[in-house]
Amino acid sequence: MMNPEEVMQKYEKYINPSSTRLFRFMGLSSIESRAEGWIITDTEGTEFIDCLGGFGMFAVGHRHPKIVEAVERELHAMPMCGKVLFNEPAALLAEKLAEITPGALQYNFFCNSGTEAVEGCLKVARLATGRKKFVAAQNAFHGKTFGSLTATGRDLYRDPFRPLLEGFTHIPFNDISALEQAVDDETAAVILEPVQGEGGINVPADGYMKRAEEIAHKHGALLIADEVQTGIGRTGKWFGVDHDGARPDLMAVAKALGGGIMPVGSVIGTEEAWQGLIEAPFLHTSTFGGGQMACAAGLATLQVIEEENLLRRSAETGAYFKRGIESIAAEFPQVIKEVRGRGMMIGMDLVKEGAGGMLMALMIDRHIIVAYTLNNPKVIRIEPPLNMPESVVDHVLDALRSSVSQVAEAIDDL
Ligand code: PLP
């Protein structure tokens, strides 16, 4: 086995010198070697508590035995689909997703990542409506391929790649009158995250997604719910839109759907939205999408969430976690401005950007993995496995209190 320094040198030389240096600067010098539940162990045997959950991918924790078993079964039978014959795991996962998604979502197109799921939603929306205009939110994060990047609401990521797709308008998130003004009879779809993840864990007012649905439908436009981060139990319900009783026409899911073992995404749509693809199914295809190992992982993930009551646990443990962080915020208002979140998707909005980097480094020193959100480095996000016990949460809160108090001492110099 290579020593950590050798691995980092190869990262620097063959992956990216500046990101490697940034991580080194933040004190990250461990090579991950195994993982189980909420623990990641490095090659030196040091254990880290995973409170980032791979940006929300590890809803059922690392290497959940039932998902490992389901994936192994397919591995030894036929891991990837031959693309011409039918396969059972894809049929079962599609049926299960139709059952747990709200409203009339029925048809699935399987893909391999969040950005692909969003791309699929945008294409299906154009096909269904014959329109080209989209309304998205400022600060939104929908991925980094061209279509998703156009919907993403951060110029830092978009500007180097212009020209992007035409016809996108970005309005402030959680602002119903801005949405009313932006949507018209030429709008194909409104695309929103039920809680903005990378934008800084921004929770909208109750009923926001339902109102967005009504506004879109009034103009014959579709509502696309980007549930890549909020979906599959993260916010304490199956999907973020379930908090509002909203019924999107299209939904993008990925991240947690693969149970932290396989990359799996899906574009899910109503029969009406799917008409174009029903007429011409080969307008949108994927070589890897819908493979047996991936779909078996997805199905096992949804079963584990049901069997282990992870929706309830996400809501309850998330509320417990959030209360704990709020009490730390009350003690250190000079460091934490606000705590936001739903279920196990919690963000700490810090007073300045430098405080985010320092807090992340101090937590990692204490062997707890957290990170800031991609669009908003002032927000440290907590997205642990949904089955993390309260005793572990207590340990994390103790470490957080100590780390925040250290940041408080240095705050004027940051
Ligand atoms: N949509 C949302 C809401 C996300 O949070 C992300 C990733 O963080 C994506 C899309 C893109 O997913 P991926 O990184 O799998 O392409």
The residue ranges of every structural domain in the chain are 31-60+309-413, 65-307
Q: Measuring CA to CA, which residue among 199, 197, 145 is closest to residue 172?
A: 199
- Ligand 1: does its nearest atom lie under 6 Å from the Cβ of 197? yes
- Ligand 1: does its nearest atom lie under 6 Å from the Cβ of 142? yes
CB within 8 Å of 376: residues ≥ 6 apart: 139, 198, 199, 200
pLDDT at 144: 98
Strand 168-171 relative to strand 187-192, pairing: unpaired
Q: What residues does 225 pair with on adjacent strands? A: 192, 251
User: Taking a C-beta distance cutoff of 8 angstroms, is the pair 392, 49 a contact?
Assistant: yes
> Is 113 strand, coil or helix?
coil
Kindly report the number of other CB atoms within 10 A of residue 130's CB atom: 9
Residue 414 has pLDDT above 90, yes or no: no
Query: Residue 119 C-alpha to ligand 1 middle, in angstroms?
Result: 11
Q: % helix / strand / coil in the chain, to the nearest 5?
A: 45, 20, 35
pLDDT at 28: 86
- Ligand 1: does its nearest atom lie under 6 Å from the Cβ of 114? yes
- Ligand 1: does its nearest atom lie under 6 Å from the Cβ of 115? yes
* Rounded average pLDDT over 251-264: 98
- Ligand 1: does its nearest atom lie under 6 Å from the Cβ of 230? no
- Ligand 1: does its nearest atom lie under 6 Å from the Cβ of 55? yes
User: Taking a C-beta distance cutoff of 8 angstroms, is the pair 315, 343 a contact?
Assistant: yes
pLDDT digits (tens, 9 = 90+) for 309-341: 999 999 999 999 999 999 999 999 999 999 999
pLDDT digits (tens, 9 = 90+) for 68-116: 999 999 999 999 999 999 999 999 999 999 999 999 999 999 999 999 9
Query: Residue 111 C-alpha to ligand 1 middle, in angstroms?
Result: 13
Which atom of ligand 1 is the closest one to the Cα of 116? Answer: 16
pLDDT digits (tens, 9 = 90+) for 267-301: 999 999 999 999 999 999 999 999 999 999 999 99
Residue 23 has pLDDT above 90, yes or no: no
CB crowding 287-321: b at 16 or more within 10 Å, else e: ebbbbbbbbbbbbbbbbbbeebebbebbbebbbeb
pLDDT at 27: 82
pLDDT digits (tens, 9 = 90+) for 336-362: 999 999 999 999 999 998 899 999 999
pLDDT at 25: 83
320-327: long-range pairs with CB below 8 Å, 24+: 320/390, 320/393, 321/346, 321/382, 321/384, 321/393, 321/396, 321/397, 322/346, 324/393, 324/394, 324/397, 324/400, 325/382, 325/397, 325/400
pLDDT digits (tens, 9 = 90+) for 156-200: 999 999 999 999 999 999 999 999 999 999 999 999 999 999 999
Topology annotation, domain 65-307: Aspartate Aminotransferase; domain 2 (3.40.640)
- Ligand 1: does its nearest atom lie under 6 Å from the Cβ of 301? no
Mean residue pLDDT of the chain comes to 97
Dist CA 328 CA 348 (whole Å)? 10
Query: Residue 152 C-alpha to ligand 1 middle, in angstroms?
Result: 10
φ, ψ of residue 183 to 5 degrees: the values are: -85, 130
Query: Residue 379 C-alpha to ligand 1 middle, in angstroms?
Result: 17
Which atom of ligand 1 is the closest one to the Cα of 226? Answer: 3
- Architecture of domain 31-60+309-413 in this structure: Alpha-Beta Complex (3.90)
pLDDT at 201: 97
User: Taking a C-beta distance cutoff of 8 angstroms, is the pair 47, 367 a contact?
Assistant: yes
